[in-house]
Amino acid sequence: MEHPEYIPDFRLDGKRILITGAGRGIGLAAAHALAHFGAEVVLAARTVGEIEAAATNICLAGGRARALALDVRDIDAVQQLFSENPPFHVLVNNAGMNRTANFLEVPRSDFDDIMGLNVRASFFVAQAAACRMADEKLHGSIINVSSQMGHVGAATRSVYCASKWAIEGLTKAAAIDLAPLGIRVNSICPTFIETPLADGFLRDPEFKAQVLSKIKLGRIGRVNDVTGAVVFLSSDASALMTGSSIVIDGGWTAD
């Protein structure tokens, strides 16, 4: 005899989900996966052509999607987006960047750009999403796309690591503030994934070999290694999970 109460519910029918940085990489893959499980997805990015093409492809496959031009660093534009749209049930807070340099050589412009997008913009996008959820008494989920670098350090990545450690702290603190409202906040922390962001680094054979030596499972990640966690945290299957991180690193941080 089947017991429905034992079966996790990964369906997302009736849920509106906003994905930032959705034009490529993890954000693009997440949009496709979430739509597959029944969500109405809104793809946001600066590069309009990419997200419009992605939304069209999702709709042609039978999903529901639309594109929305947005620079998440423009906090006024972010607040306008949330005020002009119904509240989203889920935010996939994915937009991010990296530039590498030895700590002694990091220019102020790199620090400002990385922290401005990875921390400042992520903070205020999450805040705006949570405010709308709270206004409508909507129990929602905020998913911060962080990194394994929010749990370890790495050469030439001092600013990026600082930004992702900040996101891990933000995730835990915001989860405490928002739990009484029924809003969950979690992070996803991938290792190097085959995306345009990582490809520039992985083209260097020596660097790629160093990366593979750290990943105990012996391969670079793929976007579908990450999208399962996005679907899980978006769904009621993760209803008791908040203030946590899902580390998808092939064992990098195990030692």
User: Catalytic pick from 37, 82, 88, 160?
Assistant: 160
Residue 160 known to be catalytic = yes
Three-class HEC string of the chain: CCCHHHCCCCCCCCCEEEEECCCCHHHHHHHHHHHHCCCEEEEEECCHHHHHHHHHHHHHCCCEEEEEECCCCCHHHHHHHHHHCCCCCEEEECCCCCCCECHHHCCHHHHHHHHHHHHHHHHHHHHHHHHHHHHCCCCCEEEEECCHHHCCCCCCEHHHHHHHHHHHHHHHHHHHHHHHHCCEEEEEEECCECCHHHHHHHCCHHHHHHHHHHCCCCCCECCHHHHHHHHHHHCHHHCCCCCCEEEECCCHHHC
User: What are the phi and psi torsion angles at 136 (to 5°)?
Assistant: -95, 5
Known catalytic residues? 160
